[in-house]
Each structure stands twice: as C-alpha cells, then as structure tokens.
Structure 1
Amino acid sequence: MPEWDTVRLEFDDDDDVATLTVDRPDRLNALNVETLRALRDAISEAESEDARALVLTGAGEKAFIAGADISHMQDLSTTEAQEYAELGHDVADMLESFPAPAIAAVNGYAFGGGCELALACDLRVASENAVIGQTEIDLGIIPGWGGTQRLARVVGDELARRLIFFGERIDAQDAHEMGLVGEVVAHDQIDAHVEEMARDLAKRPAFALQAAKEALNQTHEGTQSAGLRYERRLWSSLFGTHDQREGMAAFLDDREPEFK
C-alpha cells in the first residue's frame, strides 16, 4: 500500500472500513499542496480496495483539519490560487462521490477547508471539543472548496450566509442544533463511536448504499456544478487583493487585520 508523509490510510481487520487521517498535528492538520495530493491519492486507494465505509479524521488532540495552509496561500497569484482551488475541489468531490458512505469524525478545530471537507462527507460526528466554521472572510477571501454551495444545503440559506459573512466559529452543540453535524459525542469516545458506525454501514448492502448515496447527491446536481465552478473563479480572483494579503499576513503575525 502506498505511504504518504502527511496522511495515513488504514483498514480494519476485514478491510471493509478505511480510515483516512490527516497527520500534521504540529500544524493543526492544515492542508498544504502535499497533503491535498496525498488525500486525493489515498481516497483513490481506498476506492480501489473496495472500502465499504470511509472515515476522515485528524491526528492529535486539537484539530480535525484547521483549514488550508495560510502560509502557503499568502502569496499565491490568481492563477496559482485557481490551481489550489481545483486541488481542494478534487478532494471534496472525491469524498462526495466516494462509492460508499463517508463519515467525518470532527475531533477538534474544523475551519475553512476543514469544514468544507467535512461538508463533503455524508455524515458528520463531532467531539464535544469541536469548533467549526467557514472562517475565510477574516482572511479577505471566501470559501473556495465548496463551502458556498454545500453549507447552505446542510444548514439552510440564512444560517449559511451568517456563518460565511461573519466567519463565525460554532461549538459542537450549536453545530448540532443547526444541523451542521449529526451528533455530538464525548471527546474520548469519538473514535470508537465512529468506528462502530462505519462497521455497521460496512455490513449493509454495498450496492444499495451506493445507489442511495448517488440518488441523494442527485438532488443537488442541478445547479451545484455551475455554482462550484463560479466559486472557484471568485475565490482565486481575490488573491493579490489588499484584503487577502493583509488578512493572511495578520493571521501569520498573530494580529488584527486592517482591511480596506
């Protein structure tokens, strides 16, 4: 099986459940290009191994996926940002179209791109310690890996606008109440709980589950592709603006941004 420096892919004893762990705990599992490419390859590997359920989680005690790697994004040109957006979309789309249920075990911070990858999964389970949000507005950009399209379909238009416009960070219980996650469990129980869910799903009829997932996804297909393409263009066009440069520089300098 292939190995990657920043991602771990593990199978249970029956090879039915694939667990995909972003393994950059020192960077709160932030997604740089290397990690996104590794995720793309690992999801393909899990599919080729006929995994009947897929779990996505993050290493360490603090973060699920804290977002895209801002130190990488800070100086991207519009063209480079478009390429980065395409890579993030590739991973999110692969999770959404994976031919078996995908579960996000949100065991900590899930901001920006981390929230977007969780939204691309079929089910979301949050640790009581989880904090979730589409926080890109504070960096002078917008969600660029599907958040503008998928969030509204999960929580509704009004809540999605509030979360994206204000960049709100939502604790696990509030996220559950608004439907952003399906349930909240104790932090020390999330791995076992999600593993049990995944094994239960893996025992169910695989072709029926795949058909159910495809049918459910089809309800969004009418405008989502166009919306995602539009989002990518908008997201990348913000790179090189004052607010994008200032927002990311302020984040890396641990200070308040001064937007125009």
Structure 2
Amino acid sequence: MTNDAYSTLRVSSEHGVARIVLDNPPVNALGTTMMRELWTVLTGIKDDPSVRVIVFSSADPEFFIAHVDMHVGEEMDVLQELAASAPADVNVFQAIGELIRHQPQVTIVKLAGKARGGGAEFVAAADMTFAAVETAGLGQIEALMGIIPGGGGTQYLRDRVGRNRALEVILTADLFDAETAASYGWINRALPADELDEYVDRVARNIAALPDGVIEAAKHSLPADDFKEGLLRENHAWASTFSLPTAQHLINKGLQEGAQTPAGERDLEGLMRSVARSLPDGHMTHH
C-alpha cells in the first residue's frame, strides 16, 4: 500500500493493522475524491489476509470528518460514476457506510475531533469507536440544512442507540460530547485525550494478534445487520428533502456564512441555526 496513490488518505500497515489517516484540508470534508479513495483502499485490502484490523483516524485534530462536502451537488458526473460502482439498492453515500460495515477486517475509529453528518455516519458504520473526552463530538446536523441523514445514519443510529435516541440525535441536530455518545451506545467508550492513542493501539494490536480464524468467527457470528429496506426508505426520504428549495438555500447560505472553514465548523450548529432564522417566513417556523 503506497501513499502515492491517494491525495486525501495516508495509508500504512504493520503487524496486521492497517492505519488510514483521513487528510483532506481544511476540515476533512467527505468529498468525491475521498469517497473514491476510501472505496479503492477498502476494496483493495478486503481480501488481504495480512490485514486484520483497520484503524481510521484524522490528520486534523479538530475534525475527523466535518460532514459530506456541501459542494458535492455540483459534481453530479463524479457522483454518477461512483454510483455506478456502488451496490444496487443503496445511494452513493450509503455505499461508503455499507462498505465499512461489511469489511471482513475489524474496523476501529479513533475519534479525537468532530464528526458530523456523513462523518458521524462513518463512525457509526465502523465496528468500534473510541473517542477523546475533551475534544471529540458527534452530530447529525442534516436537519439544520433542511434534510435528514442520507448515508445510512438513520439505520445505524437506531441500531446503536434505539429509536427514541435516534430521533433525538436527528431532530435536535446537536453536537453530542463523547461521554454522552458513549452512554447512549453510539460509540464504545470515551477516554482522556492523552490516553486515546495508546489505548486504540493496544486494542488494535491485541485483536490483530488473535489466533487464526477468531476474528472471522466473531464477525460471522455477529454479522452486520441487513438494513436494505431501511436504507431504501432513508434514501427516498433524504432525496425528497434534498430536492426542496429550502435545503438548497440553507446549504448555499451556510457556505456563504463560513461552513467548511475551520472557524465556521467549530460551531456549525450555531451557524446553521442563524442561517435558518434568516429564511423568509413560511419556510421555517420562528421561535
């Protein structure tokens, strides 16, 4: 695995552990290039017996994946190309989550910074997530953009936290701290930031060192649930909201106001709530 092949990922492997560092400045938005490169690297190591665990982390301590690139709608040609290689019955965003969920290796997210929208969906698709208490945050911010999660988030959340908390996460669109996320079952556990690297390294190395056949047997016994019907419902609901003028207005205005810049992303919820308040009457209720 050479890094020369990737512009948004840094990939290395040793002792059965592949490390994939997400590196797409300025805020690690999940754009079409990163989606394609994740697809390439994950399908490439799927059948590699020397890789037993995959650890995902970020080159940016503040942002794991900010969210799906808000400019992605302008790249329909690339999206269609990606969709052509995706499995039937899932959209191009769901395909990334499903790829991670069905990876034969154990997938672990090391979450030091924020993961919103498609970033939070990525986290929920992985087998395990360990997060830094002081700095990590998770949120499905889509509702503030006039849409709902469209990359598997509704299904993964319900599986992780239950329907009541899934609705809370989606409809409050708040940023959840690591301790709350852990108490909900959204992630495995929250750890002090200065212990995160060492802890994840130990877990990854110990799992990778298990006797032959154990990882496969465990993943076979605990298969990734089949969300086929739910993903179809989610895609239909997402597409019906995404096509509305309100969503386009909110996304475009959010970008104008600083979304996808480090400053704007630090409190994206506040930024998007102020954008929503600026909508003409009739588009969104004022409080």
TM-score after normalising by structure 2: 0.81
Q: Which residue of 1 aligns with 2:260?
A: none
How far off its partner does 1:25 sit?
3.4
Superimposed CA distance per residue, residues 134-166 of structure 1 (whole angstroms, 9 cap, x where no aligned partner): 111111111111111010111111000011011
Of all paired residues, the percent bearing the same amino acid is 28
Which deviates more, 68-77 or 190-199? 68-77
Letter in 2 for 1:132: L
Q: Which residue of 1 aligns with 2:72?
A: 72
- 1:212–1:243 Cα change, 3 Å: same
Q: Which residue of 2 aligns with 1:256?
A: 275
Cα distance in structure 2, aligned partners of 1:154 and 1:239: 25
Q: Which residue of 2 aligns with 1:240?
A: 243
Superimposed CA distance per residue, residues 46-98 of structure 1 (whole angstroms, 9 cap, x where no aligned partner): 32433110111221110111110012237969x96x94972322221111111
Q: Which residue of 1 aligns with 2:211?
A: 205
Letter in 2 for 1:164: I
1:89 aligns with 2:91: no
Pairing 1:26-45 to 2, within 5 Å after superposition: 26=26, 28-45=27-44
Cα distance in structure 2, aligned partners of 1:75 and 1:40: 17
> Contact 1:57/1:106 (CA < 8 Å) preserved in 2?
yes
Letter in 1 for 2:17: V
Q: Which residue of 1 aligns with 2:12?
A: 10
Aligned length: 252
Letter in 2 for 1:4: Y
Which deviates more, 41-50 or 167-176? 41-50
How far off its partner does 1:206 sit?
4.3
Query: Unaligned 5+ residue runs, structure 2?
Result: 258-273
Q: Which residue of 2 aligns with 1:24?
A: 24
SS at match of 1:142: coil
Superposed CA RMSD: 2.2
Q: Which residue of 2 aligns with 1:148?
A: 154
Superimposed CA distance per residue, residues 199-233 of structure 1 (whole angstroms, 9 cap, x where no aligned partner): 11101134222232233225x33xx1111122123
SS at match of 1:238: helix
Cα distance in structure 2, aligned partners of 1:143 and 1:252: 19
Superimposed CA distance per residue, residues 171-190 of structure 1 (whole angstroms, 9 cap, x where no aligned partner): 11111121111111222332
Cα distance in structure 2, aligned partners of 1:187 and 1:117: 21
SS at match of 2:194: helix
Q: Which residue of 1 aligns with 2:105?
A: 100
Letter in 1 for 2:92: L
Which deviates more, 107-116 or 205-214? 205-214
Which deviates more, 199-208 or 147-156? 199-208
Q: Which residue of 2 aligns with 1:53?
A: 53
> Contact 1:74/1:245 (CA < 8 Å) preserved in 2?
no
Letter in 2 for 1:36: M
Cα distance in structure 1, aligned partners of 2:75 and 2:55: 33
Query: Unaligned 5+ residue runs, structure 1?
Result: none
- 1:225–1:214 Cα change, 3 Å: farther
How far off its partner does 1:194 sit?
1.1
Q: Which has the higher contact order (CA 8 A, sep 6+)?
A: 1
TM-score after normalising by structure 1: 0.89
> Contact 1:75/1:245 (CA < 8 Å) preserved in 2?
no
- 1:168–1:18 Cα change, 3 Å: same
> Contact 1:52/1:206 (CA < 8 Å) preserved in 2?
no
- 1:98–1:205 Cα change, 3 Å: farther
Cα distance in structure 1, aligned partners of 2:217 and 2:115: 29
Q: Which residue of 2 aligns with 1:192?
A: 198
Letter in 2 for 1:180: W
